[in-house]
A and B are shown apart, each in its own frame.
Chain A
Amino acid sequence: MTSDILLYIEKARGGESGFKKSAAEIATAGRALANASGGTLVALVTGTLDDDGKALLGLHGVDKVLHAAGDAFAPYLLESHAAALEAAAKAVDPRAILLAASTVGKELGPYAAARLGIALVSDATGVALDGDGLVVTKPRLSGKAIAEIVTGGATAVSLRPNTTPVEERPGDAAVETLDVAPPEARIRLVEVQASGEKTVDLTEADAVVSGGRGIGSAESWTIVTDLAEALGAAQGASRAVVDAGWRPHAEQVGQTGKVVSPKLYVAAGISGAIQHLAGMSSSKVIVAVNKDEEAPIFKVADYGIVGDVHEVLPMLTKAVREFLA
């Protein structure tokens, strides 16, 4: 094992070009680790790599890019990307591999870790070196407890989006080609269906507006959409709303949905069941609107508005439009 740090860089989806927003976050986290270990920060990029991508990685601290080029690596498929990550890990022999705790990162990280026989921690909110130990901080029990996990050997860590403030430095990344032959595919991509409307990715969004049962019906959901649009925020929903069929499961925030850590989380008409709090209580600032001042959501909120969402939300939307104009 060397003191180097290896990153797995994920491509953006939904018609967006370039890398996912989390690429800059894991690069920043990797830079801090490499500074502490005295190692080199190496990033694995699959498929295409353009000058913008290379510049972005350099800007956030990457010393060297290993490029697994070719159509075999685009789009993402577990087996080809695991082969690339394994080859990169064997070439670098890193102290840590960092991925984003996205759907892809949480599939690929454990798969590659098992193939490499190394430790793994998913959905971390922090990672640091403490002497010889790598200390990973991560929520457990859906955020009801915070664990510090220590490993002595090579470790793959997926980092929860939005929990690492991005830093920049002047610097350039050198690119090397990584020769890797993808294995015979046993998983084939038949089709990718876009969701249609252009929306902000919930798990990476800077702001999220979520609605709960208090919104009343699928028809009155526009008050949530309007506020989300005014704030440039992603939309979320409580479990009750998804179970009622007002919104799709992809928007569910909570223990059996998505975990989000935006800078601003607005909870509208959500009482704050423990299973919802699990999905959003690591948000930086929480604003809650609820007609019941005893609602548990106010225990985690920074700002609370006691009132009817049907009156408060349009009022807030109007104020936001004027404020941000």
Chain B
Amino acid sequence: MDIIVCIKRVPDTEARVKIAGDGASLDPSGVQFIMAPYDEIAVEKALQLKEASGAGTVTVVTMGPAEATKELRTALAMGADAAVHVTTASAPSDALATAKTLQGALEGRSFDLVLCGRQATDVDDAAVGSMLAALLGLPCVTQVSTVEAAGDTIKVSREIEGETEILEVSTPCVLTAQKNLADPRYPGLKGIMAAKKKPLESLEAPALESLSQVRSLSLPPARSEVTFIEPTPEGMQVLLTALRNDKKVL
């Protein structure tokens, strides 16, 4: 089974957010960057599927700045076979431009499955996976919790609001990873050494125009100061009365 995994370099989920001087972007100073957590899960699942089938390749693809080779090396150290680094003169600011750029990078490559994370934890649009499927003319299931290869089809399950759907998808297809799809491995020293010798291809893609622009980025409005309530039956009455009369939520 030949699998492509699309990954993204994003700020660490523990990072404190500072807004840059332009008022429309993140100030990256002092921010650690990581592979987006759901993408890491997608890489892990791809490796498991390849190992289970006993044949095939896992290729990781990212579009991002020069520094994004670090995240590609991480995926190679986890066990991916090859990496593709797509760079553009200016970073596209929306999901469709990103999906089109990745589509271009996949042209001419043969694969049975494209795996993406459910969403990158920076822009949070959860869009590139299903957009890429639409552009490639492939079927797509997002937020899958299990993936099982079965000949020319793939059997997946996902949780949707109190239900579990079991679906069968023809290959090639695009799937996006829910958190419980896999538990990412830590790359060992051997993997890290081996990653240095694995192929990392660089591709320059044309910068595509974005259909949307970020007008502003700001910190969320501060929440009001906490009111402490006594942990007593009387305190509970005070709380419930406030929730009903002041906040009108009961």
Binding site for B on A (CB under 8 A): 13-14, 78-79, 82, 102-104, 106-115, 117-123, 135-136, 138-153, 155, 186-195, 199, 201-204, 206-207, 249-250, 252, 255-257, 263-264, 274-275, 281-282, 284-288, 293, 298-308, 311-312, 315-316, 318-320, 323-324
Contacts and interface: CB of A to CB of B under 8 A. Distances in A.
Interface string B155-176: 1001111111111111001000
Nearest to B211: A119
21 contacts: A78-B139, A82-B134, A103-B143, A106-B142, A107-B130, A108-B130, A110-B128, A110-B130, A119-B94, A123-B126, A141-B11, A141-B17, A149-B212, A151-B211, A188-B168, A191-B166, A192-B163, A250-B159, A304-B226, A305-B230, A323-B250
A155 B212 contact: yes
A171 to B, nearest CB: 27
Given A108-B130, A187-B167, A199-B162, 16 more contacts: A13-B162, A104-B160, A106-B127, A107-B143, A110-B95, A110-B125, A148-B217, A192-B165, A207-B249, A256-B13, A264-B249, A275-B13, A302-B224, A303-B242, A305-B230, A305-B235
Contact of B216 (A120, A147, A155, A194): A147
A293 B167 CA distance: 47
Interface in B109-163: 121-135, 139-143, 145, 155, 158-163
B236 interface: yes
Given A107-B140, A252-B179, A305-B239, A150 B212 contact: yes
A191 B227 CA distance: 48
Given A119-B96, A187-B167, A192-B163, A150 B17 contact: no
A143 B220 contact: yes
B107 interface: no
Contacts, number: 271
| Interface class of chain B by DSSP | mixed
Given A104-B160, A188-B167, A315 B236 contact: yes
B174 to A, nearest CB: 10
B247 interface: yes
B21 interface: no
A257 B121 CA distance: 11
A238 to B, nearest CB: 13
B162 A201 contact: yes
Contacts of B215: 135, 148-150
B179 A256 contact: yes
A319 B233 CA distance: 7
Interface residues of B, number: 82
A88 B161 CA distance: 26
A281 B220 contact: yes
Nearest to A103: B160
Nearest to A300: B223
B37 interface: yes
A135 B214 CA distance: 10
A299 B226 contact: yes
Interface string B231-250: 11101110110111001011
Nearest to A75: B165
Closest 9 CB pairs of A and B: A307-B231, A319-B236, A119-B211, A110-B127, A114-B134, A114-B131, A186-B139, A14-B162, A111-B130
Contacts of B232: 315
B56 to A, nearest CB: 21
B169 A186 contact: yes
Contacts of B37: 255-256
B207 interface: no
A78 B124 contact: no
Contacts of B135: 114
Contacts of A122: 95, 124-127
Nearest to B159: A250
B164 A193 contact: yes
A235 to B, nearest CB: 12
A315 B122 contact: no
A201 B107 CA distance: 41
B168 A190 contact: yes
Interface in B183-240: 211-220, 223-224, 226-233, 235-237, 239-240
Contacts of A114: 96, 99, 130-132, 134-135
